[in-house]
Amino acid sequence: MGRPLRESTIVIALLLVVVVGSKQFTESVILGELATQALAAQGLKAEHKRELGGTRLLFEALRSGQIDVYPEYTGTLQQELVPGATDLKAALDKLGIHLGGPLGFDDSYAIGMQREVAARLRIATISDLRGHPELQLGFSNEFMQRKDGWPRVREVYGLPQAARGLDHSLAYGALRSGAIAAVDLYSTDAEIRKNDLIVLRDDQAAFPRYEAVLLSRKGLAPEASRALERLEGLINQQEMIDLNARVLIDHVPERQAASELLQRKLQLQPASASDGLAARLWKRTREHLFLVALSLGAAILFAIPLGVISFRRWRLGAFILGATGLVQTIPSLALLVFMIPLLGIGEGPAIVALFLYSLLPIARGTHSGLTGIAPELIESAHALGLPPGAVLRRVELPLASRSILAGIKTAAVICVGTATLGALIGAGGYGQTILTGIRLADTSLILEGAIPAAVLALVVEALFNLLERFVVPRGLRL
Amino acid sequence: MRVEAIGEDAPFPFHRVVERARHPDLQRLEAARQGDAVSRLDNQVQVIREDSEVDDAEVSNAFPRRVQTLATPCSTHPVIFEVIQAVKQYGGAVALGPVDLFIDQGATIALLGTSGAGKSTLLRMLNGLVLPDAGEVRFRGAPIVDAPAVRRQIGYVVQGGGLFPHLDAGANVALVARYLNRPEADIAKRLDELCELVRLPRTALNRYPSQMSGGQAQRVSLMRALMLDCEVLLFDEPLGALDPVTRFDLQQDLRAIFTRLRKTVVIVTHDLREAQALTDRAILMRNGQVLQDGTVAELIRAPKDEWAARFVKAQS
């Protein structure tokens, strides 16, 4: 069955499938996976668009109905998404969003210590730190500076220590060596388990609460809502830390980690085993080729006429080439983000962005190919009595074919490379694998995306070199 | 001023009369310019009577249909090109004209002059590649327009031949015939005829322009111009870029071909000998104007002015 058919069936079935989104960090992906599997266990069709991007993007995608569910934190809602709302539930309700009950843990700023040191000094809460002014505290620079970070803790608890700013990646080493006694972290950080830390209880509520919740679109099917409600209160702090650690430290796929939890706590059937390397590669390759083929095909159909027009009318041509050149200077990430309010997320905006990027090389290749034709040849063609259309088809385009093909080749290679960024807005492809690899700091996963992308670029280039033999007339290759 | 008369029993086709009326001396031509003869020519109803000018109203009253019919262009017309007061400017500078030129069917004419004399512009006006800014150019009595169908009747060979590098010789020659969907059998037959005419081996038709010598390329472009059996052949510097030996051979062949085909031929050249070898009439141009019109022999014997004398002397 061909890919286009699959695409169209997805479009048709879009209303029937519950689409779960997640942000670009591990905990969010795990929660998205939990929601997806809980829905699937209810017999619903659920699709997980993972690592879609940042908070704002997901929230807008939810509001516009491009996704149906995604995990969020109450702190983020209060600070960023519906600032100043006293009643979150009511404020979200007005936006057409249902605020689910807390999942059972919160992921806020916290202060952590090594378990045995804390036990020795009998420290369990942040207040307890007051009695130990000799302790060295080492905090990340961001935590040092944020108003809701160290300045607030210090004020609320009246802590006597002077804190040192240091890079987060160095903090755990410093902690182990005893150079510092406490660090800032997120309360569900996988590092807590890895380094055997404890989180000091925030007994005076200095930090804003970042309770994990599921946001869903109102009007979701009742069975879907019920499936999501089963997750409420299901995961406590320690369980979330373990889930994060399963993925980040044990390198277990999110799907499997989520499935283990659901099996243990809700006795749900385990999700099907994750795909093997070959199946994964094949799926990503298909997605990637789909993005490249569609955008490049459309660009060829559009940019060659653009090149011809800019050759015929140089004033208009200067404008056309200038405009396509301007598109080229927009950073690809920015272009993708611009597309979201217009086209939402998924393959659509990615294809449009790639299409726009492909215009310049092809239009310019066509234009320079035509401009490079000796004037006496064009004059001869007209003098022979060929009408302008026939001159274009039989003389000008064949003579410019090498340059046009070179333009298309450049566009194709750019497309293959840029398409990896499409994963940021849920378009799939090799970028998805790379993105996951970056998030998990898993080099082998990054390479699993990057190597095929590079190979594909080389293959595309080789194919075009081969194509030149068929497209460029023999007389021009002598 | 004596002007031949035509009426309802006109002895000559109309255009012929106008040409005769003008050609013999420049004074008459000037008179025609001053008067209404040219503009009335546009109406195709003007009749010039002895010593009298007839204005439009009288024309339509006095000579309703039959004279108008006489004046309309007909295909057997012996005058094939009429260039009347044609002017061409490029960016405000006059490149050509005003120029008057009448070319009979079957004439072989050389446009002579130095670079920038306007001879190439004049040549391109004959097939509508360049349209005059003022005045007009008529082909077989009808104003020439920028139209492919007109150009197919007028063979044209640019300097260097202008063969398309992406097509082999045969495809170059047959390009327009194939565009017009002529049967392949007819095309093959015509290719054979043309190969024989220009003395090109049939096997050379499979070569690409980059594989041909300059002389061969020029022969192939002549075949291409002749493919549709046009009536007129225009050449821009046909022998310009060739070495002396090839040049001599091709010059002999061209002369033979012109004689055999009896086509109207106009070539642009700055070479007096080439003009003498290939054509019967030479038109010397300078600064966009016709300086002298006659045979090459006349030009050599009695140059019009000092500049013409220098032009002749420089090449002898």
Give the domains, in start order, of chain A with CATH numbers. 14-106+210-266 (3.40.190.10), 109-199 (3.40.190.120), 277-476 (1.10.3720.10)
Alpha carbon distance B213, B60 (integer Å)? 60
pLDDT band at A271 (very low <50, low <70, confident <90, very high): low
Sequence-separated (6 or more) residues with CB below 8 Å from residue B217: B160, B161, B163, B209
The pLDDT of A86-111, averaged and rounded, is 90
∠ Cα A303 A309 A310 (to 5°): 90
**What's the half-sphere exposure (Cβ side, CA atoms, 13 Å) at B176?**
29
Scanning A97-236, the segments in alpha helix (DSSP H) are 115-121, 141-145, 150-157, 168-177, 190-194, 222-229
Alpha carbon distance B178, A157 (integer Å)? 93
- Model pLDDT, residue A15: 47
Cα B296 to chain centroid distance, Å, stands at 17
Q: Which residue has the tokens 């799907």?
A: A255
Tell whether A178 is within 8 A of chain B (Cβ). no
- Model pLDDT, residue A275: 65
Choice between A426 and B279, residue whose per-residue pLDDT is larger: B279
Shortest Cα distance from B58 to chain A (angstroms)? Answer: 41
CB distance B175–A376 less than 8 Å?
A: no
Choice between A84 and B282, residue whose per-residue pLDDT is larger: B282
What is the tens place of the pLDDT at every residue in A185-242? 888 888 888 888 888 888 888 888 889 999 999 888 888 888 899 999 999 988 999 9
Question: Looking at the partner chain, which of B129, B162, B168 has a beta carbon nearest the beta carbon of A377?
Answer: B162
Reading the block at residue B198, the tokens are 């220009």
CB distance B164–A381 less than 8 Å?
A: yes
What is the tens place of the pLDDT at every residue in A302-333? 999 999 999 988 888 888 888 888 888 888 88
Tell whether B206 is within 8 A of chain A (Cβ). no
The pLDDT of A42-65, averaged and rounded, is 85
- Model pLDDT, residue A457: 93
- Model pLDDT, residue A274: 58
pLDDT at residue A478 tops 90: no
Task: Compute mean pLDDT per 10 residues along chain B, 316 residues long, and list them.
Answer: 34 40 34 31 38 40 36 51 89 85 90 89 91 89 84 89 93 94 93 91 93 90 91 88 84 89 91 89 91 88 89 84
Looking at chain B, which residue has its C-alpha nearest residue A394?
B175
Reading the block at residue A58, the tokens are 């997901």
> CB neighbours (10 Å) of residue A188?
28
Tell whether A399 is within 8 A of chain B (Cβ). yes
Selection from A113, A27, A127, A121 nearest residue A71 by Cα: A27
CB distance A384–B165 less than 8 Å?
A: no
The string over A417-454, giving b where at least 16 C-beta atoms fall within 10 Å of a residue's C-beta and e elsewhere, is bbbbbbbbbbbbbbbbbbbbbebbebeebbebbbebbe
- Model pLDDT, residue A8: 47
Question: Looking at the partner chain, which of B160, B175, B209 has a beta carbon nearest the beta carbon of A384?
Answer: B175
- Tally A–B CB contacts below 8 A: 73
Q: Which residue has the tokens 């086709």?
A: B13
Q: How far is CA A350 from CA A206, A412, A414, B178, in A?
A: 43, 14, 13, 44
What pTM value is reported for the model? 0.68
- Model pLDDT, residue A270: 56
Selection from A191, A199, A196, A197 nearest residue A249 by Cα: A191
Least confident of A219-223, A384-388, A462-466, A469-473: A219-223
Alpha carbon distance A15, A441 (integer Å)? 35
Taking contacts as CB-CB distances below 8 angstroms, the residues of chain B near A382 are 129, 148, 151
Tell whether A119 is within 8 A of chain B (Cβ). no
- Model pLDDT, residue A379: 92
What is the tens place of the pLDDT at every residue in A107-153? 888 899 999 889 998 999 999 988 888 888 888 888 888 778 888 88
Looking at chain A, which residue has its C-alpha nearest residue B156?
A383
The pLDDT of A406-432, averaged and rounded, is 90
Alpha carbon distance B170, B223 (integer Å)? 9
The pLDDT of A410-437, averaged and rounded, is 88
- Model pLDDT, residue A291: 93
What is the tens place of the pLDDT at every residue in A358-382? 999 999 999 999 999 999 999 999 9
What percent of chain A shows pLDDT beyond 90?
34
| Coarse DSSP helix, strand, coil percentages of chain B, rounded to the nearest 5 percent | 45, 20, 35
Phi, psi of A158 (to 5 degrees): 60, 50
CB distance B165–A399 less than 8 Å?
A: yes
**Domains in chain B and their CATH numbers?**
14-71 (no CATH), 105-136+144-314 (3.40.50.300)
Reading the block at residue B135, the tokens are 């005045």
